[in-house]
Each structure stands twice: as C-alpha cells, then as structure tokens.
Structure 1
Amino acid sequence: MGTMITFPSNGGETPGYLALPSTTPAPGIVVIQEWWGLEPHIRDVTDRFAAEGFVALAPDLYHGKVATEPDEARKLAMELEYDRAVAEIIAAARYLLSRAEVRGPKVGVVGFCMGGGLSLLSACRSDLFGAAVVFYGRNPNPIEQVRSLTCPLLGLYGEADQGIPPTEVERLRQALQEAGKQFELHIYPNAPHAFFNDTRASYRPEAAIDAWRRTLAFFRQHLKTA
C-alpha cells in the first residue's frame, strides 16, 4: 500500500515510508519505529493506519539501517541523537500537513518502544500534533517536560514490561495530572514489552487488539478538523 519517499528535514532530507488511504483528504499520522528500525512490522502498521482512513508516514530515523539482533538494535538506539530524531519527526508532521491528501490543522503521532518515548517527546516540543499515542515508551528525562505537552495523550503499557514497570507509568500519570494535561493511560495485565508486535514472541493478541481499537478511536476523536 505504501512507498518510500523523502521529505525535507534539518536542512537535508529524511527517508520515510508513506501510505495513503483510498479516500482523501484524510487526517495524517506520523508512525515512529521501534529500536529495530524501519522494518517490515512498522511498514505493516503504517499500512494498517492507511487502511483505516489515515495518511500515515513512518520516518526512517536510522536512514536505511535495520537491526535483526537485540545487541545491534541496542547499539543503533544508543547512537541515535534524540534531538535530531525529534526534529525529523516534527519535519514529518510538517511535510504531511503540506500535502493535499492530508486534512489538518494538526496530525497525530504514535510510537512503539523507543518510538513511544519519541512520540511523547515530539508532542512536548511542537504544536503540530493534535493527538499522541505511546506504546510502551520510556518517560521523558526529566519527566517535567510533560508540562509542555501540547495535545491529548494515550499511553498503552504492559504490566509485565521489565523495562517500563507500572511504577514508571504511575510516575507519568502523576506528572501529567500535576501539569493539568488531558490523558489516558492503560496497563494490560500480564502483557510484556512489545505486546503489540505480532512478529515477536512478546505478542499478546488480546492486549494488542484492544490497544489498536483504543488508538484508532483516540485519533478519530482528536484529529477532527477545526
């Protein structure tokens, strides 16, 4: 359904995977990769959003590199410059809004694993986003950055996530409450990290199906035109 494109960013160009729905104009969504890179699963998720009526763009934050082993993915994630990545995500949002197929005035952003944290961080640094969804992403550091969040937030987490335990989710909840932000956080019982990725052993169908339903409803609610 989609195709590789490039869009202007940081004085240069960033590659990305763009998927268009059957009917346009439509709301736009930026889809942010896991630490593996822009691999088939993320392209598939981008296609799924297009099939649901969104113009979806997944920026390639590794610029062509894709990991297949955890050690390799960890290395790529550690080498990623978060400020540059956030700038590319914001540039992807700006690019979507420049296309005739996209109905503004804002776009959504959703990320998984590493991309989940980047989704929240991007929504704290730009007002181009009308809704942000975090799938098991780490909290910003320092967490007080959520005071700058510019849109409603949906967070989806697994109770059995060893890297992002429920205590971290509750820390985020408290920070968002203190900042007076609009948000929903859900923790799925017994679900591990990456419960949505149906190409991994971590996949949990029941949690994934519910999280997808919530994500679509959230974007449809908050990306209505002004």
Structure 2
Amino acid sequence: MGTRISFPRIDGKKAEGYLSKAAHDHAPGVVVIQEWWGLQDNIKGTCDRLALAGYDALAPDLYAGRVVPYHDHDAAEAEMKSLNFADAAQNVVRGAMVYLKQSSPKVGIIGFCMGGAVAMLSSTAPEISCVAPFYGLPPEQFLDISKIKVPVQGHFSNTDDFVTPERAKAFDAALTKVGVKHEIYGYDASHAFMNEQRDVHDRAQAEIAWGRLLKFLGENLG
C-alpha cells in the first residue's frame, strides 16, 4: 500500500522511509518510529493501517536499510547501540515531521520499544501536536519532561523488564507534576505485544491499545 521515499533531514542530508498515504489530500500526518529490529514489515503495516484510518503515515528508516531478523537479539542490540539517538531525533525524525507538514495540517508521532524512546526524544519539536510511545522511554537524564508542550499517550506492559511498571508510573507522575496533558495505560501482555509478527503479540490487548491510539490521534490531529 505504501512506498519507499527519500526526504531531507534537518541538516540537509538525505534520509529514507516508508510512506503510506490516506485516501484524501491534506490528511493529518503521523511519524511512526521502528523497533530495534529496523524498518520491519510490522512497522510498514502500522503505517498502512494508519493510512486506512485517514492519516499520512511515514516511518523513517533509522538503520538506513538494515533489517534484523526477529530471532537475532544480539544483532538488534548492536544496531540500537550504534544508533545516534540525538541525531535520529533532531535530524531524521524531525525531517520526517517537516516532510509531512508540507501537506498535513497537524502531525503526531508514535514509536515502539526503541522507537518509543526516540519518539519521546522528539516530543519537543515544534512541528508535532501529540506523541504516543509504546513500551519505550529514553533514560530519564536525556528527557526534560518540563519542555514537553503536547499531549502524551503512553502504552506499557505490566510485566515488562525494559520499561518496568515502576518506570511507567514514575513517567506518569513526572508528567502530572509539570502539567503535561497525558494518558498512561498498562496492559496485561508482554513487551512488544503490538507486533503481529512475533509470538508475544496479544491481539485482544493490541486492539484495545489501537482503539485508544486512534481516539487520541483524532482528538489531537483531527
């Protein structure tokens, strides 16, 4: 349904990604950030699903074409550790926002696992209107929550050892303390429960989360 495109980074270099467009012009935009596996088919499928829901969805390729098989955790960890998160957020992801803003009146950002962390690192960009991380947050020292000015919707696993329930609660409390409008949800499902290509996928919990996400996007992007 979508296609691979090139778009300018903020620093003028070139980035690539997967773009799936809504059936109508000037649709709201959503930037979709990959897991540590790279730009896998499940992320492309999320873009396609968002397009069917009425959004132009762009997933920037943070690994420049490299895709890691789901069984190879060591390779995925190596790719993630080699990623310059600040560069990805400031140049690639924000470049994707600017690209969508050429035709979209409002743009939001969602991210999964590693992508949730990148989404939150991008949450202070002036181009976005809302952010939704799924079971991923950056280390606390790299995120100044007081600078977030857009609504946040967080989705976390109640059994996660990556972003633990305690960390999710602390994130909730920190957002409350600085007055950021937000919704934080916990799910009785495993980490990465949204990924239909993996055995941790939980369809019932994923559909609940998807419904909440669409409501959130509708309220903040139109």
Q: What amino acid does structure 1 have at the position aligned with 2:20?
A: A
Cα pair 1:139 1:168 within 8 Å, conserved: no
Matched, 1:60 2:66: no
User: What are the equivalent positions in structure 2 for 1:1-150 lying under 5 Å apart?
Assistant: 1-9=1-9, 10-68=11-69, 69-87=72-90, 88-99=92-103, 102=104, 104=105, 106-124=106-124, 126-142=125-141, 145-150=144-149
- Structure 2: give runs of 5+ residues left out of the alignment: none
Letter of the 2:192 counterpart: A
Contact 1:129/1:150, CA 8 A, preserved across alignment: no
Question: Deviation digits for residues 33-92 of structure 1, max 9, x if unmatched?
Answer: 000001111111111100111000000011111111111110000000011110210110
Q: TM-score, normalised by structure 1?
A: 0.93
User: Which consecutive residues of structure 1, in runs of 5 or more, have no partner in the other structure?
Assistant: none
Please give the alpha-carbon distance, in whole angstroms, between the structure 2 residues aligned to 1:11 and 1:22. 30
Provide the aligned length of Structure 1 versus Structure 2: 218
Q: Supply the distance in 1 between the matched residues of 2:186 and 2:221 (Cα, whole angstroms).
A: 24
Q: Distance in 2 between matches of 1:185 and 1:27?
A: 23
Structure 1 residue 138 displacement after superposition: 2.0
| Aligned partner letter, 2:78 | K
2: CA distance, partners of 1:14 / 1:54: 21
Shift of 1:19: 0.5
Equivalent in the alignment of 2:165: 166
Report the aligned-residue RMSD. Answer: 1.1
Regions of 4+ moved over 6 Å = none
TM-score (norm 2): 0.95
1:182 paired with 2:181, answer yes
Shift of 1:173: 1.0
